[in-house]
Chains A and B, each alone.
Chain A
Amino acid sequence: MKSMSMDLKDFYKKEDIGKMKEKTQVEDIDRSLYDFRYEDKDAYKVKEGLTEDIILQISKEKNDPEWMKAFRLDSLKKYEEIAFPEWGPSIEGLDMENIVTYVRPNTERMHTTWEEVPENIKDTFTKLGIPQAEHKSLAGVGAQYDSELVYHNIKEEVAAQGVIYTDLESALHGEYADMIQEHFMKLVPPTDHKFAALHGAVWSGGSFVYVPKGVKVEIPLQSYFRLNAAGAGQFEHTLIIVEEDAYLHFIEGCSAPKYNVANLHAGCVELYVGKNATLRYSTIENWSKNMYNLNTKRAKVEEGGKIEWISGSFGSHVSYLYPMSVLNGRGARAEFSGVTFAGKGQNLDTGTKVLHNAPETTSYINTRSISKDGGVSTFRSSVVIGKNAKKSKSAVSCESLMVDDISRSDTIPAMDIRTKDADVGHEAKIGRISDDTIFYLMSRGMSEEDAKALIVSGFADNVGKELPLEYAVEMNNLIRLEMKGSIG
Chain B
Amino acid sequence: MMRVNQLPAPTWNWLHMNHAETSVEVALTDASYEEKGSSAINCSNNEKFSVTCKTGLGEEYSQKMENLGLPVHSYQVTTQMESPIYQTFSLKEKNHVANLMEWQVAKGASAVVIQDFSEEEAEDQVFATELRYHLQEDARLTVVQILRPSEKQHVFLNLGGILEAKAEFHLIQLVLNGQEVYLGNYTDLQGTAAGYVSDLGYTVKGTSKLDINYVANHVGKKTTADILASGVLRNQGKKLFRGTIDFHKGCAGSKGNELEEVLLMDDDIVNQTIPLILCDEEDVEGSHGASIGQMDDSLALYMKSRGLSEEIISEMLAKAKIDVIINRIPDEKTKEMVRSYLVKHPA
Please give the residue numbers on chain A whose beta carbons come within 8 Å of chain B beta carbons, in ascending order.
86-87, 380, 382, 387, 400, 402-405, 407-432
Contact = CB atoms under 8 A, between A and B. Distances in A.
Contacts of A425: 289-292
A413 B286 CA distance: 14
Contact of B288 (A86, A387, A428): A428
Contact of B271 (A400, A408, A416, A421): A416
A126 to B, nearest CB: 41
A385 to B, nearest CB: 9
A87 B271 CA distance: 22
Interface residues of B, number: 42
Contact of B11 (A400, A412, A427): A412
Contacts of B274: 412-415
Nearest to A382: B15
Nearest to A414: B274
Contacts of A382: 11-12, 15
A420 B283 CA distance: 39
A430 B15 contact: no
B265 interface: yes
Interface of B: 9-13, 15, 17-18, 233, 249, 252, 264-294
A417 B292 contact: yes
Given A421-B294, A424-B292, A429 B286 contact: yes
Contact of A417 (B17, B264, B289): B264
A86 B7 CA distance: 13
B272 A410 contact: no
5 contacts: A412-B11, A418-B271, A424-B292, A426-B288, A429-B287
A413 B290 CA distance: 11
Nearest to A353: B12
B279 A409 contact: yes
B13 A402 contact: no
A419 B269 CA distance: 6
A421 B13 CA distance: 26
B242 to A, nearest CB: 10
A15 B347 CA distance: 73
Nearest to A351: B11
Contact of B282 (A387, A405, A414): A405
A414 B13 contact: no
Given A422-B292, A430-B277, A432-B283, 6 more contacts: A387-B268, A402-B279, A405-B281, A417-B270, A426-B288, A429-B285
A419 B270 CA distance: 7
Given A86-B10, A425-B291, A428-B288, A405 B283 contact: yes
B272 A411 contact: no
A3 B204 CA distance: 67
Given A387-B267, A410-B276, A420-B267, A426 B12 contact: no
B280 A408 contact: yes
Nearest to A322: B12
Contact of B277 (A407, A419, A428, A432): A428
A414 B285 contact: no
B288 A87 contact: no
Given A87-B12, A428-B277, A418 B270 contact: yes
Give the 10 A-B residue pairs with the shortest CB-CB distance, closest first: A420-B264, A423-B293, A405-B282, A430-B286, A87-B10, A426-B290, A424-B292, A402-B282, A414-B274, A417-B271
A51 B18 CA distance: 34
Nearest to B240: A416
Contact of A424 (B249, B286, B290): B290
A87 B14 CA distance: 11
B279 A427 contact: no
A419 B294 CA distance: 9
A174 B274 CA distance: 47
B292 A430 contact: no
Given A414-B272, A415-B272, A418-B270, A87 B11 contact: yes
Contacts of A402: 279, 281-282
Contacts of B264: 417, 419-420, 422
Given A413-B274, A414-B274, A418-B270, A431 B280 contact: no
Contacts of B292: 415, 417, 422-425
Contacts of B281: 402, 405
A408 B276 CA distance: 14
B285 A431 contact: yes
A424 B279 contact: no
B328 to A, nearest CB: 23
B314 to A, nearest CB: 10
